[in-house]
Amino acid sequence: MTSEKSVLVQVRNLKKYFPVYSGLLFRRHVKDVKAVDDISFDILKGETLGLVGESGCGKTTAGRTILQLYKPTSGQIIFDGVDLASLQENEVRRMRQRMQMIFQDPYASLNPRMTVGSIISAPLDVHTSLNSSEKRDRVQELLKIVGLNPDFVNRYPHEFSGGQRQRIGIARALAVSPDLVICDEPISSLDVSIQAQVVNLLEELQEKLGLTYLFIAHDLSMVRHISDRMVVMYLGKVMELADRNEIYLRPLHPYTKALISAVPIPDPDKAAQSNRIILEGDIPSPINPPKGCNFNTRCPIATEECFVVDPEYRELQPNHFVACHHADVS
């Protein structure tokens, strides 16, 4: 897909299925929840790759599977030349020092019984051999980096606001100096007034520390602001991948066009002239996705072929990938 020299992560034909069982005494495997169903993309060193889509499309599952928090059903996750899916647990543990995650809910992701110092130093306990004094210095340094008072080390999470808690989560993710940080909707539970501060902080840290981000969100305007490229997912599959401006200005997939049309426009005159695309129907269940294209039940341009043949994920234009039979004419 891209130059091998600049690629940090290669995701190839990744699947993550969750088994569904029937019966109490004699449990039988009857179906699978196809949360992530054969997706492929690259994450380049130093870039921010935005991953967008409706709730339940598999964004978070994809991020957690890349980190090996979920074991993949099949496929490859090649991190800096190493296939994570083929590693043993102790080998994954060593690699995880280079991959960290910022979780969505700052209220649920911080242990209320631990002090801020203990929370941030937890990765240091696992991955380093620093003594107590060195850990404390490192924790105070991290608090400064994320814009918090370094004297807060002995406070508890309930003493902080949501934005401050998310900064603590960011400090914890940065504790072991990772190369890749997966941001799982890090601003969705924050007040709008705080969201911009957290996004600006993430951008500053990326420039200062040379980080690579996978930024998962459903706020397309924010993803356009922070991302270099965007991946659009629907029902476990990648629908489209391209440069952020290319996605916004020249979307090829009908689902992407519908998402872009839903982004609010601040100018009332332009908003009145915009062509809002309303998708009919509900998202099918990932337990029983449609035959052919996953989007065929809601697609305004679907033909008989779309209900029979799963579309090939192809490069229709330079560095612009799409999975649609009619993308070139839609």
Question: Model confidence over 133-181: pLDDT tens digits?
Answer: 999 999 999 999 999 999 999 999 999 998 999 999 999 999 999 999 9
Domain 4-323 CATH superfamily:
P-loop containing nucleotide triphosphate hydrolases (3.40.50.300)
Q: Is the pLDDT of residue 264 over 80?
A: no
Q: Is the pLDDT of residue 3 over 50?
A: no
Work out the burial of residue 270: count CB atoms within 10 Å of its CB; fewer than 13 is exposed, 13-18 middle, 19 or more buried: exposed
Q: Is the pLDDT of residue 260 over 60?
A: yes
Is the Cα torsion angle 173, 176, 179, 180 positive or negative in sign? negative
Q: What are phi and psi of 66, to 5 degrees?
A: -60, -40
pLDDT, tens digit, 9 for 90 and up, residues 70-127: 999 999 999 998 999 888 888 888 888 899 999 988 888 899 999 999 999 999 988 8
DSSP, residue by residue, 241-293: EEEHHHHHHS--SHHHHHHHHTS--S-HHHHHHS-PPPPPS-PPPTTSPPSS-
Percent share of the chain, pLDDT over 90: 61
Q: Is the pLDDT of residue 61 over 50?
A: yes
Taking residues 248-262, what's their average pLDDT? 89
pLDDT, tens digit, 9 for 90 and up, residues 33-48: 999 999 999 999 999 9
Q: Is the pLDDT of residue 5 over 70?
A: no
Any residues with CB less than 8 A from the CB of 274 and at least 6 apart, and which?
A: 261, 265
pLDDT, tens digit, 9 for 90 and up, residues 300-312: 888 999 999 999 9
CB count in 10 Å sphere of residue 201 = 18
Q: What is the pLDDT of residue 271?
A: 65
Taking residues 239-256, what's their average pLDDT? 92
Q: Is the pLDDT of residue 202 over 90?
A: yes
DSSP, residue by residue, 131-199: -HHHHHHHHHHHHHHTT--GGGGG--GGGS-HHHHHHHHHHHHHTT--SEEEEESTTTTS-HHHHHHHH
Taking residues 230-250, what's their average pLDDT? 93
Taking residues 193-206, what's their average pLDDT? 91
Starting at the edge strand that comes first in sequence, how are the strands of the sheet with 74-79 ordered? Answer: 28-44, 7-22, 74-79, 82-83
Q: Is the pLDDT of residue 4 over 50?
A: no
Please give the residue that has the higher pLDDT: either 4 or 269: 269
Q: Is the pLDDT of residue 272 over 80?
A: no
Mean of the per-residue pLDDT values of the chain: 89
Q: Is the pLDDT of residue 50 over 90?
A: yes
